[in-house]
A = this chain, B = another copy of it.
Amino acid sequence: MAETTERRAAEAPTSKSARTRERILDAAAHVLSRKGYAGTRLADVAAHAQLQAPTIYYHFASRDELIEEVMWVGAARVHAHVVAELEALPAETSPLDRILTAVEAHLRYELLISDYTTASIRNANQVPEGLRAKAAAEEAAYARLWRDLFTAAMDAGQLRADLDITVTRMLLLGAMNWAAEWWNPRHRTLDDLVRATQDMVRYGMAPATA
């Protein structure tokens, strides 16, 4: 019953088998983010999941299928979380405020489940083509969400008229994705990071030119 608070993120693992599967997936994300695609050894994954390597084959058909799922799950969960946060906003929320909400949701979720995030970020271009398909489709859909947010804000006149929204969108996502590489909760709170990122979007770095 104490689990209910956890269920927002992942779906609830019911059977014992499902829970073991989830444990293997988490372990794989952990190893994948630190060792890369080629360096992800099933023996290491198994050790983190507290079982023996061959056991993985009871839950996944192959090493590649396991890794494919990690790559996909990371992207899918961030996407779903941002969508949920946006849908929770009042209908009259301005396009710019929707962007700022998306920024906060992306950062919080990315840094919360950072093993999956860093795993898919660092390995996006290292994993063999075949394994990329599902994750790539998910990322494309997520990119469309951001593109729509920017287009709406531009149409509403809330962005500088001469802004290159394609490039700017990628710069913003890059700044956020990179945070998983350096952010340390002992130096800055997540709240501070979110605020600094939102301020960067709104005001840039220079003071308002009087």
Q: Which residues of A contact B (CB under 8 A)?
A: 33-40, 96, 118, 122-126, 157-164, 166-168, 170-179, 181-183, 187-188, 192-193, 195-197, 199-209
Q: For residue A156, give the distance in angstroms from its CB to the closest CB of chain B.
A: 11
Beyond A161-B207, A163-B199, A200-B204, 12 additional contacts (C-beta under 8 Å) are A35-B37, A36-B38, A96-B206, A122-B126, A168-B200, A171-B200, A174-B174, A175-B175, A200-B200, A201-B206, A204-B205, A208-B208
* Cβ-defined partner of A167 (8 Å) among B40, B173, B196: B196
With A124-B181, A125-B118, A178-B177 known to touch, is A205 a contact of B168 (CB < 8 Å)?
yes
* Cβ-defined partner of A206 (8 Å) among B158, B164, B174: B158
Bound CA span A173–B196, Å: 14
* Cβ-defined partner of A122 (8 Å) among B122, B159, B172, B179: B122
- Taking CB atoms, residues of chain B closer than 8 Å to A168 are 196, 200, 205
- Taking CB atoms, residues of chain B closer than 8 Å to A203 are 160, 204, 206
- Taking CB atoms, residues of chain B closer than 8 Å to A172 are 175
- What are the 7 A-B residue pairs with the smallest beta carbon separation, nearest first? A174-B178, A38-B39, A204-B204, A36-B36, A38-B38, A175-B175, A167-B196
* Cβ-defined partner of A170 (8 Å) among B161, B182, B206: B182
Whether A173 contacts B163 by the Cβ 8 Å rule is: no
A177 nearest CB neighbor, chain B only: B178
Bound CA span A196–B170, Å: 11
Bound CA span A159–B206, Å: 4
Q: For residue A45, give the distance in angstroms from its CB to the closest CB of chain B.
A: 14
Bound CA span A94–B124, Å: 39
- Taking CB atoms, residues of chain B closer than 8 Å to A188 are 164, 166-167
Bound CA span A192–B179, Å: 24
Q: For residue A44, give the distance in angstroms from its CB to the closest CB of chain B.
A: 11
- Taking CB atoms, residues of chain B closer than 8 Å to A37 are 35-36, 38-39
Whether A34 contacts B126 by the Cβ 8 Å rule is: yes
